[in-house]
Structure 1
Amino acid sequence: MYEPDTAAILPEDVLDAASTDEQLSDVLGHGEEADEPITSSVRSPSACCLPVTVEPVMFLTMFSLTLQTPLSTQYLWDRISEDLGYNGSKSTECGNSSVPLDPLQKEVETLTAHWNLYLSLGGFFVVLLVVPFLGSWSDIAGRKPVLIIPNLGLALQAVVYLVVMYLRLPVAYFLVGRLLSGLSGDFIAILAGSFAYVADVSDKQSRTFRVAVLEACLGLAGMLASIIGGQWRKAQGYINPFWLVLATNLASALYAYLFVRESVPRVPDAKLFTTRHYKAVWHLYSTGGSSNKAGGGFHRCKLWLYTLCFFLVVTVHFGSRDLYVLYELSSPLCWGPDLIGYGSAALHLAVLTSLLGLKIMQRCLNDSWMALVGLATNIVALIVFSVADTTALMFTGYGLCFLFLIATPVIRSKLSQLVDPSEQGALFAFVACVESLCLLVGTGLFNSLFPATLYFMKGFTFLVAAVILLIPFGIIGTLQCLDQRRNQGDSTMS
């Protein structure tokens, strides 16, 4: 059983005294006339009675997203190919460079890439505006709405996609679905709400592992959806898998409504459309948050530095993930679909090995040292990838990745422990937006760097990724040493 932080629970007599709306607003320090962002430490006295809370929400939503993304890309390819009259293969034989590229194939590839970019950017910019105030709003309105509303938006997106497929409407209508999903917060809002919920119902000792379990749900759902989606599309086309996308989003929203217990007390008159929610995020990162009592500038600096570490690590993860298949398809590896599948399975298996490794290392190491171990294995693996010219060496790199997913849950947990309990929603909303930005920066940077450096070293991009990871490695190690020194000084003085 996971209990909320007892220091964050109001005494019972205070809760009784705050029975009316106005009194409760006063207790929260967030009444109608308040100018400051929310800084309450109030937390619901009810704890989740089960070790499983928002994990099914995360798993179902990620399953839906992973099932949908490659299917929509393939549908775009097929529709654009049909419109242009292109009937060629979507793949080329490895090493068959003597065959000239079909101009129609190049046009299909370009248009498909452009539409993928339009859909990604359209959703990203809307989400960037919506998620910060949804996350901060969840600090006073409860976490459940932020788990339910985005799932309903994703379900609406699936409905739009199905209508386009049934009626064979122009693919531009896909943008309508992306905008509807973006206005509801999209998957980014669910990420923010889920991690904030886990921060609500866990203590500092269990939080890192609980966050790691959530991230493991992302990996397992992605692996399962990848296996099912490709085979199902080959057997039955696009429409039936998209019905599963719709059903999965609705099931996730229903589970959140029926089984997820609220982790924060709701303010009855909490407004959604107000600039206070943006101010709460700004207040958090400009002052260090309400928990910054004696830490001063060092506390705020730690908040920014850990956020920078998260940005760099996740950017490398997103960016390098796109390159593995490109690297394996071409010479000298020339892998076929079976070996590529085994490589992808090995990478997804790291979700479980990282979770197991984190659980074991918690017995003898603190969070920061575990993050450094995870980053070290990732750096070594990337160096091996950069020089891999045989199948054995490539799989050696995959084997060295067995702990590479430890760093991100540790950083999320570190950030969560730096802010007040009432600011978890604002924090994870900002972190979720950073994660979305990582996807754009990582894919753009690494996919541009890879072809530009092929002429002198095919694996140079992996070396760049390894060098980038040295920055968070140094930051986390330095902050841990400074914290140890401060703790030793405090113990000596006492």
Structure 2
Amino acid sequence: MDERDTVAILDHVLAPGADDEDPSSVTCAHTEEESARSLKPPFSCLKPVTVEPVIFLSTFSIALQGPLFTQYLWDRISEDVGYNGSKSSECNTSQPVDPLQREVETLTAHWNLYINLAGLSLGLLVVPFLGSWSDKAGRRPLLIIPNLGLALETVVYLVVMYTRLPVGYFLLGRMLSGISGDFNCILASSFAYIADTSDRRSRTIRVAILEACLGLSGMLASIIGGQYINPCWLVLVTRLASALYSYLFVCESVPIDPSVRLFSTCHHKALWKLFSTGGSQSTGSFHKYKLWLYTFCFFVVVGVHSGCRDLYVLFVLSSPLCWGPELIGYGSAALHLSYLSSLLGLKVMTRCLADSWVALVGMLSNIAGLLVFSAANTIALMFTGYGLLLFFAMTTPVIRSKLSKLVDPTEQGALFASIACVESLCSMVGYSVFNSLYPATLHFMKGFPFLLGAIILLLPSGIIWTLECLDGRHERQLNTKRENED
């Protein structure tokens, strides 16, 4: 196994007609006319752009709504318990924290947990069916249906905000989104689409571009934020636009089987077969263990990211920082800018480092940023932490690429369905652990969840380093064997 494969991938430039014989090449025409009519969207394909606008618009809506939703919960719960959150005299002083403020922080963290769990738990049940079903039913439905579910979620949120209903009604919106697959289903179908329409050499750069779209859209959403109700209308429009674009412009990437059933045990059997045997390309038990270990690393890394994401806003809302919407927007923009800097770092570092070492650099960046956040009590320290997260997003695209290359092209749908399940599960675990831990540790260390996240990330770092050493030793043994044979 060539551990420096990302260098060739990043240097590869797709040329017209470069892969004319590749059956996964992006095209609106298929060999059978009947199949072509069913796969072609109403308008012509937009090459080389495919699902990138879908990811951009969907992530934009998620990044715009997240901080607004947390701020609304904070203000609404403050009003219910009688806490005057606008008092700035409590910030940047050595006086004890107001008990009402601590109660608001605790209730906000708990409601964030309950509402997110409502959507994530349903998504965990739905995504395996939808992901594996898309192998035969097509990718386009999984780009349209979840966006419509997210739009319904926003409608419910707007109704709750305008009518001043109890915050418990937000659960209904999250459940509607979870039943339709939620944002994780959009991610899974988009990455599966890229796997369908790219060869092994170009896949990593396409995956990295998708991850950069995540950061760029999140940065834009953070800058244009504001008070929670008016931007929610923009969230609704964006989600509807993403679904409309998928219907009008995205070509289908897999042949459609009209006889495929959504509710069938064969979808779960495909996932079980992949991870129980290591896939069609398995060369032994070590290959299967690598698939499991890289999946576990992905679980831990994304779990820490998900768990800390909501806490960034909650952490700076209260004393001693007491940030307003403007500073929260700038901080979130700095965080999402890391996706673009990570893309640049990935391209530069892979010229002199193997894939696994690039992933470890990203992990080190993440750990350093979380350690600074754990002790941050000034604006300067917070933005120092954001600066140290410069390359934190380099880890996940490398892991996705390694997982994709461990399985056969015919197993990409099952793989990304399993990754979608992992993302749903790790988001649920991350939300549960960190949103429960934050109020429980306020009395002795407000930034303890960030410190714990940094410590947890040492585990996948050690696994990736160990696998790199084992692969290097295996490669040296193969080279020695070839030399002896010669």
TM-score, normalised with respect to structure 2? 0.81
1:54-73 map, 5 Å: 54-73=51-70
Shift of 1:420: 2.0
Matched position secondary structure for 1:88: coil
Shift of 1:298: 1.1
Structure 1, residues 423-471: CA drift from partner, whole Å, max 9, x if none?
A: 2222222222322332333344345555666677665554433332222
Alpha-carbon distance between aligned partners in 1 of 2:20 and 2:463, rounded to the nearest angstrom: 28
1:220 matched to 2:210? The reply is: no
Pick aligned residue for 2:250 from 252, 260, 281: 260
1:403-422 map, 5 Å: 403-422=391-410
Q: Is the 8 A contact 2:109 2:435 kept in 1?
A: no
Aligned residues: 453
Matched position secondary structure for 2:251: coil
Shift of 1:303: 0.8
Letter in 2 for 1:411: I
Structure 1, residues 332-391: CA drift from partner, whole Å, max 9, x if none?
A: x74754666554433222111111111222333332221122223333444455566766
Q: Is the 8 A contact 2:148 2:240 kept in 1?
A: yes
Q: 1:278 to 1:480 in 2, by over 3 A?
A: same
Structure 1, residues 77-118: CA drift from partner, whole Å, max 9, x if none?
A: 555566x48473266622456577475x66665555444333
In the alignment, which residue of structure 2 is the partner of 1:275? 265
Letter in 1 for 2:158: L
In the alignment, which residue of structure 2 is the partner of 1:137? 133
Alpha-carbon distance between aligned partners in 2 of 1:436 and 1:193, rounded to the nearest angstrom: 14
1:149 matched to 2:149? The reply is: no
Shift of 1:66: 2.4
Q: 1:307 to 1:90 in 2, by over 3 A?
A: farther
In the alignment, which residue of structure 1 is the partner of 2:91? 94
Q: Which runs of 5+ in 1 are unaligned?
A: 22-47
Q: Which runs of 5+ in 2 are unaligned?
A: 1-13, 36-44
In the alignment, which residue of structure 2 is the partner of 1:477? 465
Matched position secondary structure for 2:399: helix
1:151-300 map, 5 Å: 151-166=147-162, 169-230=165-226, 233=227, 238=229, 240-292=230-282, 295-300=283-288
Alpha-carbon distance between aligned partners in 1 of 2:164 and 2:442, rounded to the nearest angstrom: 40
Alpha-carbon distance between aligned partners in 1 of 2:128 and 2:66, rounded to the nearest angstrom: 24
Superposed CA RMSD: 3.5
Alpha-carbon distance between aligned partners in 1 of 2:302 and 2:223, rounded to the nearest angstrom: 24
1:349-428 map, 5 Å: 349-386=337-374, 394-428=382-416
Alpha-carbon distance between aligned partners in 1 of 2:260 and 2:374, rounded to the nearest angstrom: 52
The percent identity for this pair of structures is: 65
Q: 1:69 to 1:394 in 2, by over 3 A?
A: closer
Letter in 2 for 1:71: L
Structure 1, residues 100-153: CA drift from partner, whole Å, max 9, x if none?
A: 7475x6666555544433321221121111001111011111111111111111
In the alignment, which residue of structure 2 is the partner of 1:43? none
Q: Is the 8 A contact 1:4 1:201 kept in 2?
A: no
Alpha-carbon distance between aligned partners in 1 of 2:154 and 2:378, rounded to the nearest angstrom: 42
Alpha-carbon distance between aligned partners in 1 of 2:53 and 2:94, rounded to the nearest angstrom: 47
Structure 1, residues 191-235: CA drift from partner, whole Å, max 9, x if none?
A: 1101111122222232222212212222222222233232xx2xx
Letter in 2 for 1:275: T
Q: Is the 8 A contact 1:94 1:329 kept in 2?
A: no
TM-score, normalised with respect to structure 1? 0.79
Alpha-carbon distance between aligned partners in 2 of 1:255 and 1:155, rounded to the nearest angstrom: 14
Letter in 2 for 1:176: L
